[in-house]
Copies of this chain bind each other. A is one copy, B any other.
């Protein structure tokens, strides 16, 4: 019995290459390819039979990996999914896992390891690789206590992502420097950093602000 695979990745060259690679593994078929999440959902809806495992790129235009995974999980809970990404970023890993992915694979994984992981996911429904071998419980836990920012905190964060001093930010927000210092402290805690530079970088990674 063959294992049917679906792949979504916005880089056509990678998509086609990977497709060919997986086809070359014995017992694997590629049944669907898509350049983004939306395309994948459309194609799944018109497929005679669902794939066993979906490989989803994390970063895609139109509909990204997390949104796609969540949608697929809701519509077709039987379909197993693996996230595929370049970077092993904590926040992204938990996001994908919470969206229903069984594994988080890095794009520099070796082909034989990929084959093994696909088999593991198909048969046991799970797979553990290095990047994923972080303490999941800790990650999920820290994501539970969801760090939502208040309006003022968000406003401060946006202003902090600039060449402005805190004093200038205080003027812009119509508060005293001490108050801005308070927001700084809150954000340092929420983002788990200890410098303004770190805060800016973390805010960009979590996409709380954009360049």
Contacts and interface: CB of A to CB of B under 8 A. Distances in A.
Interface stretch (A62-70, A74-82, A179-187, A192-200): A192-200
B108 A11 contact: yes
11 contacts: A10-B108, A13-B18, A13-B110, A14-B17, A14-B108, A16-B110, A20-B24, A161-B197, A163-B194, A163-B198, A201-B211
A204 B211 contact: yes
Per DSSP, chain A at the interface is helix
- Nearest 9 Cβ contacts at the A-B interface: A17-B17, A163-B198, A17-B21, A11-B107, A11-B108, A12-B108, A16-B111, A17-B18, A13-B107
A139 interface: no
Q: How many chain copies does the complex carry?
A: 2
Contacts of A111: 12-13, 16-17
Contact of A110 (B12, B108, B165, B201): B12
Contacts of A160: 197
A86 interface: yes
A108 B197 contact: no
A82 to B, nearest CB: 12
Contacts of A194: 163
A131 interface: no
A127 to B, nearest CB: 15
